[in-house]
Structures are given as C-alpha cells and as structure tokens.
Amino acid sequence: MSVIALSPKKIKKTKIWLISALLVLLLAVVAYTFLYLKHDATMTDVGNRLASPSWEHPMGTDHLGRDVLTRLLLGFRLTVGYSLIALAAAVIIGVPFGLLAGLRGGWLDRVFMRIADGFLAFPDTVIAIVLSGLLGPGIGNLLFAIVLVKWVNYARMVRSTVLTEVQKDYITIARINGLSTFTIMRRHLLPHIIGNVLVLASLDFGKIILLISSLSYIGLGAQPPTPEWGAMLNESRPYFQANPEMMVYPGLAIVVVVLVANVLGDYLRDKFDVKKEVQP
C-alpha cells in the first residue's frame, strides 16, 4: 500500500483553501438565513438614526435609522450575486465564441481578433466606466457593461488553447472520422479548456466585485436604497468623521470577500497547473 506524502507547503496551501472555502460558505449561509430576521434593510427610522451598537442593532444604524448588519448581509447577497451573474454571462458568451474562432478559423477568427484588439487596447475599468456612463446609472446597465468587457478575455484564452490543440493528431483523426464540429468541441476540446476557464473565472470574480462596488460608489451602479456595498460606502461618506464604522463595515466586507476569492483562485491555478496559460 502506497502512502502519499504532502510537503509542508502544500499542506499550508490546502489549509488556507479550506479556511477560505469555509468562510465563503459561512458568509453565504448567514446572509441568506438573515432574511428571516425582523429588520427591513430599506425601512427608515429617522428617530433612531446613527445609533450605537446594541442588542437590537449589533452594528448600529445608519443615517436613516436602517440596521447596518441587515444591510451588510443583504449586500453580500447582492454584490456577490451580481458578480456571479456577470461572470457566468461572460463565460457563457466567451467560451463558445473562442471555441468556434479557434476551430473554424477564417473570417470568424479575423473578426474576433479585431474585436479583441479593440477591447484589450484599454483597461477593463476604463471601458466599464465609459459604457456605464453612456448607458446610464443602474445595476442592469453596469452588469451589461462588465459582460461586454469580460467575455473577450475568456474567448481569447479559449481560442489560444484551441489553436494549440487543433494541430495535434487526435483532432485530425476526429475530423477524418467525420465527427461534427460540435462533437469535437464537446468531446475533445472542452476537457482541455475547463481548467483554464475555472482558474480565470475564480481570479476574475474578485475583480468583478471591485468593479461593481467601485462603480456603484460613484453612482453608476446600484442606486439607493439598494443595500449594495459600494452604494453603502457612497451613502456613508458624509458621516465618515463622526461615524467612521459606517464606511469601515462595507469596506472590510469587500476586502475580505475579494481576498478569499483571490486565495481560491491561486489554489485552483496551482491545482490545475496553468500558471503559464492564465495570468491573474
């Protein structure tokens, strides 16, 4: 019977990954079960505004008397939920497009490369701000802008992997045997790209959270009274000197979730051994 020995470095990385995964799970469970508690995230109580932490309000109340803890936990649902929606849409659009562009080539590949060059000429944040400003404030327009920015990264990465794989003999044999393009993509190419896609998605998750929060902070994303973390930061600015905790709580929540997402991304990158193919 063989025994698999793990190095101290791998054991440490595994522990960090487990702690991060448990933290995300704990936050998700708390955020969703907190819906059944008595406080309403949008119910105002001006007579109880800026109250100190108490048993009734563990993190106090904001400038409109709303419970900060309730809004913070609901903000987890919204910020993380919006990020997952944008990420899933970018993957769903980018992966098939990259597969087709790499496998079929020709005019489709040339058109894609021109589109990709146009998007990659500017930073993601700049394009997202411009598109959100043109489309107008609102979380729907912001998510649309983020998807337009992010899908190109997945299509470009998948295309690069496919161009490498189609030169190999097993793809040539599959074509000689009469397999359709869809069958080749599903049976032979997807297993080679799924690891890269998972790693890039996990690393992009934190970036999308920062995009949504930062653009909501400047008024281009979620609008009041939506309890989104970036919007909460924006609402708390006038009260920073007197009640700094109003900005500390959502800011710390963003930092923790993004940090956990990056740790999980690093773990997946090491697990799938795609350091050279996927850049954070």
| 278 or 242, which is more confident | 242
Residue 6 pLDDT class (50, 70, 90 cuts): very low
Instruction: Write the pLDDT tens digit of every residue in 218-253.
Output: 888 888 888 889 989 998 888 888 888 888 999 998
For 159-188, b where at least 16 C-beta lie within 10 A, e where not — what string?
Answer: bebbeebbeeeebeebeeeebeeeebbeeb
Q: Is residue 69 part of a domain?
A: yes
Q: Is residue 189 part of a domain?
A: no
**Residue range 13-23: average pLDDT?**
62
> Which pLDDT belongs to residue 261?
81
> Which pLDDT belongs to residue 32?
59
Q: Can you give the residue range of the structural domain that contains 108?
A: 11-32+64-163+195-272
The CATH number that applies at residue 26 is 1.10.3720.10
Number of domains observed in the structure of the chain:
1
Q: Is residue 147 part of a domain?
A: yes
Instruction: Write the pLDDT tens digit of every residue in 81-97.
Output: 899 999 999 999 999 88
> Which pLDDT belongs to residue 164?
83
> Which pLDDT belongs to residue 10?
54
Q: Is residue 180 part of a domain?
A: no
pTM for this predicted structure? 0.80
Cα gap 53→265, rounded to integer Å: 35
